[in-house]
Amino acid sequence: MIGGLFIYNHKGEVLISRVYRDDIGYVAQRSFMVTSCIKPATLFNVNLFVCRRNAVDAFRVNVIHARQQVRSPVTNIARTSFFHVKRSNIWLAAVTKQNVNAAMVFEFLYKMCDVMTAYFGKISEENIKNNFVLIYELLDEILDFGYPQNSETGALKTFITQQGIKGQTKEEQSQITSQVTGQIGWRREGIKYRRNELFLDVLESVNLLMSPQGQVLSAHVSGRVVMKSYLSGMPECKFGMNDKIVIDKQGKGGDLYAFCCSGKQSIAIDDCTFHQCVRLSKFDSERSISFIPPDGEYELMRYRTTKDIILPFRVIPLVREVGRTKLEVKVVIKSNFKPSLLAQKIEVRIPTPLNTSGVQVICMKGKAKYKASENAIVWKIKRMAGMKESQISAEIELLPTNDKKKWARPPISMNFEVPFAPSGLKVRYLKVFESKLNYSDHDVIKWVRYIGRSGIYETRC
Amino acid sequence: MTDSKYFTTTKKGEIFELKAELNSDKKEKKKEAVKKVIASMTVGKDVSALFPDVVNCMQTDNLELKKLVYLYLMNYAKSQPDMAIMAVNTFVKDCEDPNPLIRALAVRTMGCIRVDKITEYLCEPLRKCLKDEDPYVRKTAAVCVAKLHDINAQLVEDQGFLDTLKDLISDSNPMVVANAVAALSEIAESHPNSNLLDLNPQTINKLLTALNECTEWGQIFILDCLANYTPRDDRESQSICERVTPRLSHANSAVVLSAVKVLMKFMEMLPKDLDYYGTLLKKLAPPLVTLLSAEPELQYVALRNINLIVQRRPEILKHEMKVFFVKYNDPIYVKLEKLDIMIRLASQANIAQVLAELKEYATEVDVDFVRKAVRAIGRCAIKVEQSAERCVSTLLDLIQTKVNYVVQEAIVVIKDIFRKYPNKYESVIATLCENLDSLDEPEARAAMIWIVGEYAERIDNADELLESFLEGFHDESTQVQLQLLTGIVKLFLKKPTETQELVQQVLSLATQDSDNPDLRDRGYIYWRLLSTDPVAAKEVVLAEKPLISEETDLIEPTLLEELICHIGTLASVYHKPPSAFVEGSRGVQHKRLPGSSVESPEPASAAVPEASPSIIPSQGDLLGDLLNLDLTPPTSTAAPPPTSGLQMGAMDLLGGGLDSLVRPRVLVSSQMWLPAMKGKGLEISGTFARRSGVIQMEMTLTNKAMSVMTDFAIQFNRNSFGLAPAGPLQVLTPLSPNQSIEVSLPLNTLGPIMKMDPLNNLQVAVKNNIDVFYFSCQYPMSVLFSEDGKMESKVFLVTWKDIPNDNETQCQIKDCHLNSDAASNKLQGSNVFTIAKRTVEGQDMLYQSLKLTNGIWVLAELKVQTGSPVFTVSISTKVPWRSRHGQQSDSVVPP
């Protein structure tokens, strides 16, 4: 398991060092103690320090100060493995000498970042120095002998505070411990809100690679459902969406909604993962998503779809080479969604050859500019409604070169934001049941928002 | 108020000031001081001098201060063990505190103080805490057992903590279960043979139940533990798989990977025609693809694992090529791994897409990545024949870019393409030759020289080209020198007239001016070949080359199987077995897929692949052989039939003539090895003997055919003890019909080693002018007993004690009418030495040692009951194992 955890600043100075196991650092020491039967109390003192420092320094020299960019997030130096992640200019390194679960170590490091962010905001040298006592306290709690323990901030905040826990009653104490070790470690009991409210954000990024003829080479959507919950008590929630498998099943069973939207309005989800609050075995058997949510903001699920994606924009490129020193480019973009909706932050990037000497652009809408440093024409449109069309044409003057190599014609890429889910995902319901408190599903104010953004959205030309 | 100010104090006399503050009456000041101490500790200053003062602050009801003091204690207790005792009282008291958080804190911290003296005091509080009413305390105590075991394993066993820990697996709280599993798994790892984690269907059921309820980390512990279980049958295997699959939708990648590990392993047990098997295969792909949308570091771990999974079960991801396409802003380590997997998944169906991608990558910025992409294009050409032409033209395009490293890499792969598809793409040679001057890397230069030499007849100025390399011959790397030598010899054989001078030059450079033995040897071989028989030289040098294989860089199957069992862990990231990077006994245990087909003959030899192979005879074999030590005079008629070997041998041993006692050698009567029927008239019978330290193979060759036999030669297959002929088979005169000849062939034990079954089996090939004949024979073990097998009695005593009882085998020899001295003498004749003798209650005990030619000692105890014809023999071996690379772990290889 994890032998130690260090936090460094960008210079490689240690800000936090917590050693869980002796093996990292002074293995040599122990064998020294065994072979020579001297009582090494005094001598040891110095050496122990030197050796532990060695593990710390090795990382600084080999990773932080290495001139090259990082070639691997796991580095093995002198039979010691260093796992590292970087947040702004802070390095977090977990050190081990054993065959640990590597995926777990990285997940833990990310979690550690989340926990720190939840406690004191941005991870920066200043914040870490300001909160080092807190960090040590957290590290003591969430990592025991190198084994990650409960690391849900909701639970941690109940008993790790900088005020110190004073005057707790016995009930309160046992409530804390049962929550930390319990089945619902991510939520504490006794949360109360005057107004029960929840927000659901369906955030999608749509990725496309299209041929010049308009044929889709590859397209996929990766989406996230982020929930902000402000609910009292221990509410039991059930989340429903237009998942094809569920709809088909229910359609047969006579569910009216399911019946209405069976067929084209349901979507096929390739794969999804859930926050640990979701009962996975229930999803596996019934495909229903039920859970007791953490308080506040968290990511309920991630999913990926590849079928029947609504491509919000279509790019139609036309590139003509006029002689050896001139290119004519015409690009048409078509918005392909309901006219009542508005797309925002639209940006089209048209690459130009390296030997471009000048560009003239004419566009119907928005602003277009040739950016020589980026070798591209960048065309920006603030807003565009659905089912519209816009066009840009450009004349590119080229310097004559004797370079035999043809221009590789990189694809035209696009950025945008649309107020719907390109995957077609719809939230059907989010039901809240809290039997102990006197509020019902109807009393909860629910908000749903869909945002579709461009991922890598490219059209070859 | 912030804590950062504590980092800034660097004054002199700081320690002194801190001391004063620590002893202050004011609580706030104390706390401030401790914070300063911790800050100094963090940045690496030695503040151990403050130990007593800090410990004094321990007794406080302020939890924050307490935690700080504990933190200090964990760091420095080891350096001040005597002082650390001072803290014990507080710990013990805290373990009784009504607040469960404090109880847990105390037991957690105590485990971290690695001082032997403290551990004694830890036992009682720990025992209480393991049975605490509060689950938070229990889960902390569970981990504490692992801590204590790390300090003092014996103590943990004596105190019965392991049983308590096992009971915790049935705890009602899932987190307690998870931590208990983690602790037990770790302890079990350092006791490979103990049955500590007694996984049976009941416990598995408990674990699977806890799996649904515990934290994400707990799920990982449990899944990793499950992966060590071997289900009894395919039914059980399937039911576990069914309960593990929901985990594939967990947001935590480590949970997903550990679940994949369990499934990959248990899948081996499912029959392939089962519907569920197919369903499971389909279920595995989506989560693996989803892992690629995680953070880059996790993507890297996932990709390294997918690389293994693709090699083991290519069908899972064969349709998912696109997800491995490299994204512009992927970190370089992710890009390189994706590229690797792309090549593995490349097939005729997707090759067009892959090539288009690779071509893009070849114009990227990162040199390593570009090189790998170019190499990948070559690998695609070799893997998918239909794409070869397109690949070659892509490579030519790349060569046109004149980017130095791209050109060099392209030339290296084109060489391989030439070898795979001979006489197809040689038209591009001209383009390659244009780039000769820009090549500065040995591998590219060697590849180019190979191409020029191989196709010398099509290149008009091949001699000029090669000559240009020759100028700086001595500055070239060995790789290039060797290639140049071969290349010029090829050229000479193809165009002998114009290149005589050149070949002379290179031969003399290689043989006279070089101190590299490989180069010199190759030079001499060519020289002699060319001077004695140019036709033969042509046949040798220009021989048709075997085709190269399609797949490269595949992980060796046994290693792959082991790595599959380590999915998610560091081993799978490094693609190395844990023993290669973990010190000590931990993790050197070898994991295997259930129902694995690859049988490794020796657990130890698999453990240390670099270790020089050596075969340890199993005791059974040795016993049989000891008794088969044929001490009868050579005139004895029939060889003992193998079935009754033991008894017959025993009779021979003692019933045989006493005259053989003095004979200092071992003989076995001659056996028929190759009957004339099988040998096309050649009959071979023979025997093995040991004469003055040399093993002799004594053969009688009889020609029962009608024609004369000549040109005899002999060769052995690899065998258990590396027996090999020490010289050629000396049959000087032709063997005329009906003639017999006796030949004695000296053997050495320097040959290659492979374990045979039976151990003393030897496969022999004999060649003559008619044909090659194969036969196998068995040599008596006693020929392997070396003359220096007498162990010093002290050493004997120590070694005998060192050998675990498991390594001992007993057997009885019946019907021996011989006293102990006579037996001892007799055995000494066969290099079995008596080290000591004692008489206990009318029994003579003989302690004997012998050493095999491969350096393995065998110890034996021979009990002789006076007047009884029964001897009891106990035999033991111990083999200290040491690999070439200084792996220090000595392991006793069980017989």
Average pLDDT rounded to a whole number, residues A353-371: 91
Average pLDDT rounded to a whole number, residues B19-40: 83
pLDDT at B123 over 70: yes
What pLDDT does B866 receive? 66
Point out which residues pair with B850 in neighbouring strands: B858
Give the DSSP per-residue string, A266-280. SB--SEEEE-TTB-H
CA A9, CA B43: separation in Å to the nearest integer?
Answer: 12
Nearest Cβ partner of B290 from A56, A273, A299? A273
Point out which residues pair with B709 in neighbouring strands: B735
What pLDDT does B11 receive? 56
- Which of B55-69, B464-478, B633-647 has the least mean pLDDT? B633-647
**If residue B823 lies in a helix (H) or strand (E), which one and from where to where?**
helix B820-828
Cβ neighbours of residue B421 closer than 8 Å, sequence gap 6 or more: B385, B388
Determine how β-strand B772-778 pairs with β-strand A90-96: unpaired
pLDDT at B733 over 70: yes
Residue contact B582–A99, C-beta within 8 A: yes
A108 touches chain B (CB under 8 A): yes
Picking from B383, B409, B387, the residue whose alpha carbon sits closest to that of residue B398 is B409
Dihedral sign for Cα B553, B557, B563, B564, please. positive
Average pLDDT rounded to a whole number, residues A135-139: 91
Query: Is A382 annotated as ligand-binding?
Result: yes
Give me B884's structure tokens.
């070439």
Cα dist from B143 to A3, A152, A371, B11, B161, whole Å: 14, 20, 60, 41, 11
Give me B349's structure tokens.
């169906």
What pLDDT does B599 receive? 41
Given pLDDT bands bounded at 50, 70 and 90, which one contains residue A227? Answer: very high
Average pLDDT rounded to a whole number, residues B271-275: 88
Give me B894's structure tokens.
């069980």
Reported residue count of chain B is: 895
What pLDDT does B360 receive? 83
Given pLDDT bands bounded at 50, 70 and 90, which one contains residue B638? Answer: very low
What's the DSSP call for residue A208? Answer: E
What's the DSSP call for residue A193? Answer: -
- Give the A window 287-306 contacts with B, CB below 8 Å: 299, 301-302, 304
Average pLDDT rounded to a whole number, residues B667-682: 76
CA B560, CA B562: separation in Å to the nearest integer?
Answer: 5
Give me B345's structure tokens.
């998944």
Give me A9's structure tokens.
């600043």
B574-599 per-position pLDDT tens digit = 999 988 888 765 545 677 777 654 44
Range ranked top by mean pLDDT from A364-368, B256-260, B586-590, B831-835: B256-260
Cα dist from B630 to B652, B819, B859, whole Å: 6, 18, 20
Nearest Cβ partner of B44 from A14, A273, A408? A14
Give the other-Cβ count within 10 Å of B307's Cβ.
Answer: 20
Picking from B770, B762, B769, B720, the residue whose alpha carbon sits closest to that of residue B745 is B762
Cβ neighbours of residue B769 closer than 8 Å, sequence gap 6 or more: B709, B710, B711
Picking from B306, B303, B304, B325, the residue whose alpha carbon sits closest to that of residue B314 is B306
Query: Is A367 annotated as ligand-binding?
Result: yes
Q: What is the amino acid identity at position A65?
A: H
Q: Do B104 and B140 touch, CB atoms closer than 8 A?
A: yes
What pLDDT does B586 receive? 54
Determine how β-strand A376-385 pairs with β-strand A313-322: unpaired
Residue contact B251–A162, C-beta within 8 A: no
Average pLDDT rounded to a whole number, residues A247-258: 63
Query: Is A97 annotated as ligand-binding?
Result: no
B527-559 per-position pLDDT tens digit = 888 888 888 888 888 888 777 776 667 888 889
CA B390, CA B346: separation in Å to the nearest integer?
Answer: 14
Picking from B172, B201, B167, the residue whose alpha carbon sits closest to that of residue B184 is B167
Nearest Cβ partner of A280 from B78, B147, B249? B249
Reported residue count of chain A is: 461
Cα dist from A72 to A40, B253, B335, B575, B809, whole Å: 39, 18, 11, 14, 51
B389-413 per-position pLDDT tens digit = 989 998 998 888 888 888 999 999 9
Q: What is the amino acid identity at position B432?
A: L
Cβ-in-10-Å burial (0-12, 13-18, 19+) of B405 comes to middle
Higher pLDDT pick, A102 / B843: A102
Cβ-in-10-Å burial (0-12, 13-18, 19+) of A284 comes to middle
Q: Which residues of B touch A56 (CB under 8 A)?
A: 44
What's the DSSP call for residue B782? Answer: G
Cα dist from A333 to A269, A380, A393, A416, A417, whole Å: 28, 12, 12, 12, 15
Average pLDDT rounded to a whole number, residues A20-47: 41
Residue contact A283–B246, C-beta within 8 A: yes
Quote the distance between the C-alpha of residue B797 and its chain's center. Answer: 33
Given pLDDT bands bounded at 50, 70 and 90, which one contains residue A166? Answer: low
What pLDDT does B535 receive? 85
Average pLDDT rounded to a whole number, residues A142-154: 90
What pLDDT does B180 receive? 94
CA A357, CA B96: separation in Å to the nearest integer?
Answer: 82
Average pLDDT rounded to a whole number, residues A392-396: 93
Instruction: Measure B113 CA to nearest chain A CA, in Å.
Output: 10
Range ranked top by mean pLDDT from A89-93, B820-824, B869-873: A89-93
Picking from B674, B677, B737, the residue whose alpha carbon sits closest to that of residue B700 is B674
What pLDDT does B601 receive? 40
Nearest Cβ partner of A405 from B140, B173, B400? B400
Average pLDDT rounded to a whole number, residues A13-34: 61
pLDDT at A303 over 80: yes
Cα dist from A127 to A9, A134, B3, whole Å: 11, 11, 9
Residue contact B46–A49, C-beta within 8 A: yes
Q: What are phi and psi of B523, to 5 degrees?
A: -60, -50
Higher pLDDT pick, B474 / B631: B474
pLDDT at A201 over 50: yes
Given pLDDT bands bounded at 50, 70 and 90, which one contains residue B613? Answer: very low
CA B291, CA B317: separation in Å to the nearest integer?
Answer: 13
What's the DSSP call for residue B709? Answer: B
**If residue B127 lies in a helix (H) or strand (E), which one and from where to where?**
helix B116-130
Residue contact B568–A97, C-beta within 8 A: no
Cα dist from B738 to B99, B681, B700, B775, whole Å: 101, 10, 12, 21
Give me A406's structure tokens.
């043809």
Q: Is the pTM above the cut of 0.80? A: no
B439-477 per-position pLDDT tens digit = 888 889 999 999 888 888 888 888 888 888 888 888 888
pLDDT at A348 over 90: yes
pLDDT at B848 over 70: yes
What pLDDT does A228 receive? 94
CA B45, CA A235: separation in Å to the nearest integer?
Answer: 50
Residue contact A145–B111, C-beta within 8 A: yes
Q: What is the dihedral of CA A272, A276, A278, A280, to 10 degrees?
A: 70
Q: What rounded mean pLDDT belongs to chain A? A: 83
The H helix count followed by the E strand count for chain B is 36, 14
Cβ neighbours of residue B602 closer than 8 Å, sequence gap 6 or more: B615, B616, B755, B893
- Which of A164-178, A286-300, A313-327, B154-168 has the least mean pLDDT? A164-178
A57 touches chain B (CB under 8 A): no
Picking from B45, B44, B35, the residue whose alpha carbon sits closest to that of residue B3 is B35
What pLDDT does A50 receive? 40
CA A248, CA A425: separation in Å to the nearest integer?
Answer: 15
Given pLDDT bands bounded at 50, 70 and 90, which one contains residue B626? Answer: very low
Given pLDDT bands bounded at 50, 70 and 90, which one contains residue A311? Answer: very high
Higher pLDDT pick, B386 / B857: B386
Residue contact A69–B100, C-beta within 8 A: no
CA B369, CA B363: separation in Å to the nearest integer?
Answer: 10
B165-193 per-position pLDDT tens digit = 999 999 989 999 999 999 999 998 887 66
Three-state SS for B88-102 is: HHHHHHHCCCCCHHH
- Give the A window 140-159 contacts with B, CB below 8 Å: 140, 144-145, 147-152, 159
What pLDDT does B575 receive? 93
Give the other-Cβ count within 10 Å of A329's Cβ.
Answer: 21
CA B611, CA B888: separation in Å to the nearest integer?
Answer: 12
Question: Chain A to chain B, count of Cβ pairs less than 8 Å apart?
Answer: 273
Three-state SS for B664-698 is: CCEECCCEEEECCCCCCCEEEEEEEEEECCEEEEE
- Which of A114-128, A196-210, B676-690 has the least mean pLDDT? B676-690
Q: Which residues of B touch A218 (CB under 8 A)?
A: 322
Given pLDDT bands bounded at 50, 70 and 90, which one contains residue A38? Answer: very low
- Which of A453-457, B430-434, B524-528 has the least mean pLDDT? B430-434
**If residue B118 lies in a helix (H) or strand (E), which one and from where to where?**
helix B116-130
Percent of chain B with pLDDT strictly greater than 90: 19
Given pLDDT bands bounded at 50, 70 and 90, which one contains residue A251? Answer: low
Higher pLDDT pick, A313 / B742: A313
CA B530, CA A308: separation in Å to the nearest integer?
Answer: 71
Torsion-angle region of B423 (φ positive above 0: left; ψ -120 to 50: alpha; else: beta): left
A104 touches chain B (CB under 8 A): yes
